[in-house]
Amino acid sequence: MKKFVFCLLALALTCTVAFGQKEKAKEAKKESAEMPAFEDIAGPEMTFEETVLDYGEIEKGADPLRKFVFTNTGMEPLVIKNAKGSCGCTVPTVPQEPIMPGEQAEIEVRYDTNRIGPFTKTVTLTTNMPKEKVVLTIKGKVQELPQQESVPAKEKSVF
């Protein structure tokens, strides 16, 4: 009987230690997933509020300007080397100076809102980040201006 109780206690202790180790390993894995590795943040890093901007349904000739807001969440200055729209109807404007760590900046994008119909266009940024290229997207639909009903001219009254 003593051997049985001893074996039962030894088994319970072994299980407790094994499960405790599993939980510690899970917690360590979770913490490492939450904290980026040093290599991931050592250089510059762009963190955008949004990488897709939806113009929605707009009228022909509406305001063409939209802004992508981002922060340099890395540890070194960020340099945007080039910005290119996917076609001539999409024109980006980027900061020319380096964006320091923790600093916020904007990328302005103008779309030709005189083109009727739905659109999805991209802006490709080339930077000094380890992942050099960043792709931003604009989309929406340009609608024809509503036609105004012609008001008949007042008839001239003859007296």
Full-model pTM = 0.65
pLDDT band, very low/low/confident/very high, at 30 (cuts 50, 70, 90): low
The count of residues in the chain is 159
Neighbours of 111 (CB within 10 A): 25
Of 70, 51, 71, 60, which Cα lies nearest the Cα of 139? 51
DSSP SS3 for 73:
coil
77-133: per-residue pLDDT in tens?
999 999 999 999 999 999 999 999 999 999 999 999 999 999 999 999 999 999 889
Q: What is the pLDDT of residue 145?
A: 79
Q: What is the pLDDT of residue 34?
A: 52
54-72: per-residue pLDDT in tens?
999 999 999 999 999 999 9
Q: How many angstroms separate the most distant Cα atoms in the chain?
A: 129
Gap between the Cα atoms of 46 and 156, Å rounded: 68
- Residue 98 phi/psi, 5-degree rounding, is -60, 145
Q: Under CATH, what is the fold of the domain 46-143?
A: Immunoglobulin-like (2.60.40)
Domain segments of the chain as ranges: 46-143
